[in-house]
Amino acid sequence: MMTIVQTQERAQASEQAVVTALDELAREGARRMILAALEIEVEEDRQQHRDARDPRGHALVVRNGPARPRRLTVGAGTITIRAPRVNDRRRVDGVRQTFTSQILPPYLRRSPQVSAVLPLLYLHGLSTGDFREALPVLLGKDAAGLSPAAITRLTATWRTEYAQWRRRSLADRDFIYIWVDGVHFNIRLEDDRVAALVVVGARPDGTKEVIAIEDGYRESTESWLAVLRDLKVRGMPAPAVAIGDGALGFWAAVRDVWPETREQRCWVHRIATVLDKLPTRLQPQAKRALHEMMYAESRATCERAIHRFAQDYEAKYPKAVKSLVTDVSRLLTYFEFPAAHWKHLRSTNPIESTFATVKLRTRVTKGAGSRAAGLTMAFKLLEAAQRTWRRLDAHDLLPLVRAGVVFKDGQSAERTEPRSEKNGGRVAA
């Protein structure tokens, strides 16, 4: 009898050792997966800023060893991560820049839920079968029962949600500002020319909301016309301002559908276009000059900075100057709106930041996906991101904008004294 008990105990001990080893293997797999993704993210950031240098030619963005150990809870348990660290010595308007990981933000202590992870994995190019191996490591109990069949059912539900969302009434919605962009995904689609036409809006209470995600051909005017006409038919009124890239076919479309809407070109896109037409050695200096324009305190100051740039570069680099001054008045529209909103109006950041990692890291592998599935996943990704978006600063000024109050250099013609806003900042009225 004693022998039988001892044999059982040894078997249980052996089984427990196997389970422990498997758990450790899973934790190590999760740790390596996360570290690999972090390494890619850091290297992409460093490459993006490789031309940023100090007067002695030293790089301003460099690797700086690993960060302090952090504990992160994943499906397999708790792991310790030492993320790569970046030393960013760039300054914009005197403010030191910092690198913040989108994969492992400073506040994150637990891996995200399936609603956020699954769309991202799809847009990164994983097949349905791949999810079965990837999700349990990332999600633990949240991935229980997520077989390929279960995932197929889940994505089918999401397609239904997306179809219903595309047909919803907008008669009860008012969007003061809208941001638009054509997002190109290098994913497994039948046609790599497909773009997702994305519209995000700011409501009168300052909350940002996804308005539209539609299929479009090379961001053409015809594609954007179809999107905007549909929004209008469903009851959406004309926004006060639209913010987007100057190259979009969107602008001809918005003039047709909502001719009263003001146009604001994205400064981030414009700066990138200008720098692309200058030699690498001149780009840091030119970038500082362009940022001086972008963050100018008044329209007159910005116009003087543009004039100086043209004088400095016109002779040798006329294409760069032409890129800057084309439709220049539409770069300066934001000066006619509240100063507290300028940082929101200068760029298409709400869209760009959400899709940045997907756009940069995916590879084209045609034939394994569909446009409908890709758009559905983009919808779910934005839906998840939307829950984390902050309200616009000084949102109580938005009704004034809608009412047509005139602003000059950020100040209302109806008020002359600065006042304190609810968010604690001081905003020139």
Amino acid (1-letter code) at residue 64? N
The SS3 call for residue 99 is coil
For residue 62, the model assigns a pLDDT of 86
CA atoms within 13 A on the CB side of 164: 6
pTM for the full model?
0.69
What residue ranges do the domains of the chain occupy?
1-97, 175-366
The tokens describing 22, both together, are 């498997």
Helices of type H across 282-365: 283-294, 299-313, 318-325, 342-345, 349-361
Phi-psi region of 218 (alpha: psi -120 to 50; beta: other; left: phi over 0): left
User: In angstroms, rounded to a whole number, what is the distance separating the alpha carbons of residues 328 and 321?
Assistant: 11
How is 179-234 classified by DSSP, letter by letter? EEEEEE--SS-S-TTEEEEEEEEE-TTS-EEEEEEEEEETT-HHHHHHHHHHHHHT
**Rounded to 5°, angle at Cα 254 from 252 and 255:** 65
**Cβ-based burial of 230 (10 A; exposed 0-12, middle 13-18, buried ≥19):** middle
Round to the nearest angstrom and report the end-to-end CA distance of the chain.
89
> How far, in Å, are 10, 11, 237, 418 from residue 3 at the CA level?
10, 12, 82, 87
For residue 257, the model assigns a pLDDT of: 97
Q: For residue 416, how many other CB atoms are within 10 A of its CB?
A: 9
The answer to whether 399 touches 204, Cβ cutoff 8 Å, is: yes
Instruction: Give Cα separations from 222 to 124, 185, 219, 250, 336 (angstroms).
Output: 29, 20, 8, 9, 30
Residues of the chain with pLDDT under 70: 1-23, 25-26, 29-30, 33, 73-77, 102-116, 124-148, 185-194, 217-218, 356-369, 414-429
* Length of the chain in terms of residues written: 429
Structure confidence at residue 368 (pLDDT) = 44
DSSP state at residue 145: T
Q: Rounded distance, CA 182 to CA 201, Å?
A: 15
